[in-house]
A and B are shown apart, each in its own frame.
Chain A
Amino acid sequence: MSKELEKAGLPVALVSAMFPVAMQVRANRIVKGVSIPHPCGDPSLPKELDARLRREIVRTALKALESEVKGPTVFSPPSL
């Protein structure tokens, strides 16, 4: 589905814990998510750290949107 968005000319930052699957289907800007049931955060962390991790993931996504890529590329949030 994200590939259709990209075909229409929209850069997509895909946040997913299963980045091997994302790479196989050739998504181009892949942001490593935490875990399948909670990609944008970690419920085992205290609330404030979880929120901070989420901001980090979103910041990484923004960075991915600004980056030139040649093919499937994984962007890792620094804490992951």
Chain B
Amino acid sequence: MITIVHVVNQFFAGLGGEDKAGISVGVIEGSTGAARGLQLQLDEDAKIACTIYYGDNYFHEHKEDAITAILDAVRSARPHVLVAGPAFNSGRYGLSCVELCSAVADALAIPCVTAMHEENPGVGTYRDFANARVYCLPTAETTAGMTDALKRLAKFALRLARDEAVGSARREGYLPRGIRRLEQAERPGVERAIEMLLKKIKNEPFETELPMEVWDDAPPAPPLDQVRDRRLAVVTTSGVVPWGNPDRFKTYRNTHWQKYNIAEIKELEPGKWETVHGGYNVVYMNQNPHYGVPLDALRALETEGAIGPGKLYPAYYVIPGNQGSPAVMRRVGQEIAADLKKDGVEGVLFVAT
């Protein structure tokens, strides 16, 4: 018998509205509230072992505790699949559904499915997590779409429970997580391209196979006051390293970073440094590493007082950036940031090639 756990917020558990948004995690055996609707849709095909609920506010204010409690409850119930929501256009609820699903999927390797309106802020987080075990189905904006959402959640949950292969987002109707998988289409690329172009020329509808990505805004860090009094460091992806490449950087797809001493050095002598990078013409950088690590200019500015004495960090940081996976670069950025802050660095000169 397929077992399912359904996680809902206090409202959909039938325990109250905003007034009860602070209640902590609780477990009710069998199905209650919206879970009863889900059990109806599941019919004889599966049993909801328990309904887990939490207050919307409680979850976000005590996230670690909430998730721990939910994990414990799910662990005890040992379901084949977990269902959370549907959250429709409720932002707090949608976000918590995505977060708890991700936690359950990672900690317990249980597939999860949730549902919400495609403009729910939870969807952004869902795409960021890009967790291959967590699916989100689109719903209507309001609870008017409840029956439909539960019907589709039930169907999808059963498929996951049965370990059936799930196809692409477009084919199966779930919201894409941004995980792109390699597969064979029905026709060669050439044919698909000519067909797509002709549709575009004739103003007929077509669908791109590579949707465009939108990058998040990163709020700017506040500016430095009196930059000459600030500790500054150089970080570069140009691939300038000491001659001999002592730390074995590759010409592409590096996963580690290094910092190299420039403490007593006034300028980078050619012959003592080389450039490891497969993505650009390194001839210039090899002849003059200052194009990537402008030490001569920094020392000159130190002499003239634009940079304070001892304010230039005594090492520069490098990772050759060719074909670096964004996930790796993100981690490297976090690690370098931590290292810089540990040593009191306040601003960065980042040279990219």
Contacts and interface: CB of A to CB of B under 8 A. Distances in A.
Interface of A: 1-18, 22, 24-29, 33, 36-41, 43, 50-51, 54-55, 57-59, 61-62, 65-71
Given A15-B350, A24-B215, A66-B224, A51 B296 contact: yes
Contacts of B232: 65
Nearest to B282: A37
Given A5-B336, A59-B306, A12 B291 contact: no
Interface stretch (B18-26, B31-39, B91-99, B338-346): B338-346
Interface stretch (B101-109, B180-188, B241-249, B297-305): B297-305
B224 A55 contact: no
Contacts of A22: 352
Contacts, number: 174
A71 to B, nearest CB: 7
Contacts of A8: 334, 337-338, 340-341
A18 to B, nearest CB: 8
B350 A13 contact: yes
Among B218, B332, B350: residue with most chain A CB under 10 A: B350
Given A8-B338, A11-B221, A37 B284 contact: yes
B160 to A, nearest CB: 34
B235 interface: yes
Nearest to B336: A5
22 contacts: A1-B237, A4-B337, A6-B220, A8-B340, A9-B221, A10-B221, A10-B346, A11-B220, A11-B348, A14-B350, A14-B352, A15-B350, A36-B353, A37-B285, A38-B288, A40-B297, A40-B351, A43-B284, A43-B288, A55-B297, A58-B294, A62-B227
B294 A57 contact: yes
Interface in B291-322: 291-292, 294, 296-298, 300-301, 306-307, 319, 321
A53 to B, nearest CB: 9
Interface in B270-302: 280-285, 287-288, 290-292, 294, 296-298, 300-301
Nearest to A54: B297
Contact of B285 (A2, A13, A26, A38): A38
Given A10-B341, A40-B290, A57-B297, A5 B350 contact: yes
A29 B292 contact: no
A10 B282 CA distance: 29
B211 interface: no
A61 B323 CA distance: 26
A54 B287 CA distance: 15
Contact of A65 (B223, B324, B333): B223
B207 interface: no
B330 interface: yes
Contacts of A24: 215
B299 to A, nearest CB: 10
Given A37-B281, A39-B352, A58 B220 contact: no
A69 B332 CA distance: 25
A54 B330 contact: no
Among B281, B334, B337, B341: residue with most chain A CB under 10 A: B337
